[in-house]
């Protein structure tokens, strides 16, 4: 006999029934009368996202992409980038070749440019495809699937039922900690307790087909209930038709970034090493992924209402330039990685969420034990992330653009793998007339409280 649940136990504190509607909610309309306003959020998610946001809110008159804490995001300086590109390169089309979160391309779309996004990572493709397809999404269909309490009934569907006890235990800890001081010892013990079917613990059972995130990452990058919410959302997305499926995955990626038990990325997760770290973790894990997903869907619905259109590709930059037709009067905007940390490692959890391919977990090269961050073995290693290969990688893409007579704009930071003057020289050596502009920006110290000022350069290669 299946156990019956008091579903209210699984509703996060303060969680409300989400009313389905065919248009943006009243709150959404209130918060989005025009460009430039931020999405509505619950108090908990708001304070969490503010606490986790590595950069201050963009001073921009354009809508931002779905928030993802992303290394090298150009959200704060995209107006500076775009005004220089449009004024100096005389173009009305833009290829955002290393799109990431899509901030620059989205800004360009709102300026009326025809935009094609591209990035080698699948999660980035989902984020940008969600932007270009937002006007086709039937949001009411997604909302119906996410209405509570039916959504919470899905948490323990199929193979996910084996995580029920862990969720019960986690809920008890949440409840006790809301009235008494958190018992550090017992929370540490809970976080270290075995997670059924985890590929990082001794186990013989296969990971359930609908519980990848829970088996791999529960009590690591997310709480147990949160992990089940993510798996349930992914399962719902798989059953929706295409634009709705992409929109729900994009909203979930953004929610995962806002709520993860990590600093700003997924290279490693936080542990409850002391009282304040444990309380911080608990606060992150209390947040309902579903609530944040709903806010992100409201944001996407606003993109849809603007009727933005464009295209999105998932190729290496080199393959894109070799295989895709880039129209005349288009400028190719390049914002490649400029440090040696690979995006495929820093955001592996997002990639695994999208691919849902039950990857092998890689070994640490030195200890030969499973890698601390539980990275997937199959990851893309960008030549732009190696000191020995980065100049050649630049040369390759610049030559491909020159062959097609395409104007180019390049963003790059000072004191990175390739000296700024080398980038200008590569442009000139390929027959471009090169202008360089700079702006000073505080870079996130990758989760450390330190922030360092860096010079961000923009190179404009004209024909
Ligand atoms: C600095 S980030 C781009 C940030 C983006 N402009 C934004 O504002 O969010 C660099 C991006 O390049 C992508 N990337 C790295 N190597 C690539 C390659 N060879 N081809 C295409 N994309 C690549 C990474 O996945 C990452 O998303």
Atom from ligand 1 closest to the CA of residue 100: 27
Q: Report how far ligand 1's centroid is from the alpha carbon of 71 (Å).
A: 10
Is 280 in the same domain as 268? yes
Which ligand 1 atom sits nearest the alpha carbon of residue 68?
9
What residues does 451 pair with on adjacent strands? Answer: 444
Q: Is the CB of 227 under 6 A from ligand 1?
A: no
Quick check: is 367 in a domain?
A: no
pLDDT at 362 (0 to 100): 86
Verify whether ligand 1 is closer than 6 Å to residue 100 (CB atom): yes
- 177 in the same domain as 294: yes
Same domain membership, residue 172 and residue 78: no
Q: 271 and 136, same structural domain?
A: yes
Question: In this structure, is residue 406 part of a structural domain?
Answer: yes
- Dmax over CA atoms of the chain, in Å, equals 75
Q: Is residue 376 one of the residues assigned to a domain?
A: no
Mark whether 2 and 77 lie in a shared domain: no
The predicted structure's pLDDT at residue 56: 37
CA of 446 to the centre of ligand 1 (A): 17
Please report the pLDDT score of residue 308 as a whole number: 86
At residue 189, the pLDDT reads: 95
Whether residue 437 is contained in a domain is answered as yes
Q: Are residues 81 and 200 in the same domain?
A: no
159 and 281 housed in the same domain? yes
Q: Are 338 and 347 in contact (CB under 8 A)?
A: no
Instruction: Give the span between the Cα atoms of 54 and 71, in whole angstroms.
Output: 9
Tell me which residue has its CA closest to atom 26 in ligand 1.
100
Any ligand 1 atom below 6 A from CB of 67: no
Q: Per the structure block, which two tokens stand in for 38?
A: 């931020």
Residues of the chain with pLDDT under 70: 1-61, 202-204, 443-452
Please tell me the predicted confidence (pLDDT) of residue 364.
79
Cβ contact 81:458 at 8 Å: yes
The verdict on residue 426 lying in a domain is yes
User: What's the whole-number average pLDDT of the chain?
Assistant: 85
Residue 302 to residues 13, 24, 66, 125, 136: CA-CA distances in angstroms? 28, 7, 11, 19, 12
How many separate domains does the chain show?
A: 2
pLDDT of amino acid 12: 38
**What CA–CA distance (Å, rounded) separates 189 from 210?**
26
- 379 within a domain of the structure (yes/no): no
Whether residue 75 is found in the same domain as residue 44: no
Q: Return the CATH number at 111.
A: 3.40.50.150
Specify if 377 maps to a domain. no
In whole angstroms, what is the distance from residue 383 CA to residue 390 CA?
Answer: 6
Ligand 1 mutation pick, 116, 124, 343, max ligand atoms within 8 A of CB: 343
Q: How far is the CA of 349 from the centre of ligand 1 (A)?
A: 16
For ligand 1, the distance from its centroid to the CA atom of residue 85, given in whole angstroms, is: 19
> Using CA atoms, how far apart are residues 264 and 286, in angstroms rounded to an integer?
18
Which of ligand 1's atoms lies nearest the C-alpha of 75?
8
Residue in the structure block whose two tokens are 């590929």: 199
Examine the domain organization and report whether 132 and 103 are in the same domain.
Answer: no
Structural domain for 93, as ranges = 69-121+314-341+388-463
How many angstroms separate the alpha carbon of residue 98 from the centre of ligand 1? 4
- For the CA atoms of 216, 219, 220, 223, what is the dihedral angle to 10 degrees? 100
| Same domain, residue pair 143 and 115 | no
Q: What is the pTM of this model?
A: 0.87
Angle between helices 139-146 and 224-239 (to 10 degrees): 140
Ligand 1 pocket test target in 336, 342, 397, 409 with most atoms within 8 Å of CB: 336
- Hey, CA dihedral for 411, 126, 268, 168, is it positive or negative? positive
370 in a domain, yes or no?
A: no
């Amino acid at each position: 006999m299946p156990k019956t649940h008091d579903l209210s136990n699984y509703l996060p504190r303060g969680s409300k029934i989400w009313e389905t509607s065919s248009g943006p909610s009243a709150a959404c309309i209130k918060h989005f009368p025009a460009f430039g306003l931020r999405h509505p959020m619950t108090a908990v998610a708001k304070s969490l996202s503010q606490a986790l946001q590595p950069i201050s809110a963009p001073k921009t008159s354009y809508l931002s992409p779905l928030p993802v804490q992303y290394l090298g995001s150009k959200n704060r300086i995209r107006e500076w980038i775009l005004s220089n590109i449009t004024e100096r390169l005389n173009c009305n089309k833009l290829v955002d070749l290393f799109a990431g979160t899509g901030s620059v391309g989205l800004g360009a779309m709102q300026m009326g440019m025809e935009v094609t996004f591209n990035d080698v990572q699948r999660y980035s493709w989902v984020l940008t495809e969600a932007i270009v397809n937002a006007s086709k999404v039937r949001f009411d269909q997604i909302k119906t699937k996410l209405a509570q309490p039916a959504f919470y009934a899905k948490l323990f569907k199929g193979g996910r039922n084996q995580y029920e006890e862990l969720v019960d235990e986690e809920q008890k800890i949440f409840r006790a900690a809301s009235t008494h001081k958190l018992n550090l010892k017992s929370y540490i013990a809970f976080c270290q307790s075995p997670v059924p079917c985890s590929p990082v613990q001794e186990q013989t059972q296969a990971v359930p087909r609908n519980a990848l995130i829970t088996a791999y990452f529960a009590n690591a990058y997310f709480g147990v209930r949160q992990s089940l919410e993510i798996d349930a959302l992914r399962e719902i997305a798989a059953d929706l038709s295409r634009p709705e499926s992409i929109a729900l995955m994009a909203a979930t990626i953004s929610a995962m970034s806002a709520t993860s038990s990590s600093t700003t990325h997924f290279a490693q997760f936080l542990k409850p090493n002391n009282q304040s770290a444990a309380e911080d973790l608990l606060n992150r894990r209390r947040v309902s992924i579903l609530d944040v997903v709903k806010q992100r869907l409201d944001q996407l619905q606003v993109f849809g209402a603007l009727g933005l259109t464009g295209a999105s590709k998932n190729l290496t930059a080199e393959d894109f330039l070799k295989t895709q037709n880039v129209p005349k009067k288009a400028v190719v905007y390049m914002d490649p990685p400029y440090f040696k940390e690979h995006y495929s490692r820093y955001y592996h959890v997002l990639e695994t969420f999208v691919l849902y391919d039950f990857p092998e977990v890689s070994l640490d090269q030195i200890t030969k034990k499973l890698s601390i961050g539980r990275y997937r073995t199959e990851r893309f290693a960008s030549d732009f992330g190696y000191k020995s290969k980065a100049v050649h990688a630049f040369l390759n893409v610049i030559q491909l653009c020159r062959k097609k007579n395409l104007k180019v704009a390049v963003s790059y930071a000072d004191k990175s793998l390739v000296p700024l003057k080398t980038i200008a020289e590569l442009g000139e050596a390929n027959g471009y007339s090169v202008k360089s502009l700079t702006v000073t920006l505080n870079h996130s110290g990758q989760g450390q409280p330190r922030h360092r000022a860096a010079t961000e350069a923009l190179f404009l290669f004209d024909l």
